[in-house]
Amino acid sequence: MNNKISIRTATETDIPSIFSLIKELAEYEKLSDQIVTTEDELNKTLFGENKFVEILLAEYEGKIVGQAIFFKNFSTFLGKPGIYLEDLYVKPEMRGKGIGKALLDKIILLAKERNYGRVEWSVLDWNGPAIDFYKKIGAKPLEDWTIFRLTSDKF
């Protein structure tokens, strides 16, 4: 790995940076209007009593430039847990330096160390650069699956 890149686990003091990167991701995905969380809400969810999400931060020359947000899921067919990568984001001006790959490599390493069966994520259909990146590392799209979502206003 590039010695200018370091990957570390996020702490509560990183909440402002985490929230800033979430807002940048939403802007990139043209979904800024869907952000309803706050720094306080994130802090409770990410570091509170019932936390279940993990966050890795990527630093380049000591500055936070990306993050991976993920959590444990389960495969009934494998009979093992896995990792679901909710978001992988690297600041646009920092792309192409190996930062996204370093974050993904760390998640894969965690899955191996924990004896998990797989790592999964979703990508927007129009995000060609991300799709190309994921295919380049050997990931395969699951073309026979459709993601469904039920939001809290429906239950």
CB 127 within 8 A of CB 135: no
Which residue in the list 60, 89, 116, 134 is annotated as catalytic? 134
Largest CA distance in the chain: 48
Taking only Cα atoms into account, the Rg of the chain, rounded to an integer number of angstroms, comes to 16
Torsion of CA 141, 146, 151, 155, to 10 degrees: -140
Q: Are strands 63-75 and 5-9 parallel, antiparallel or unpaired?
A: unpaired
- Does the annotation count 134 as an active-site position? yes
Query: Exposed, middle or buried: residue 108 (CB in 10 Å: 0-12, 13-18, 19+)?
Result: middle
Which residues are tagged catalytic?
Answer: 134
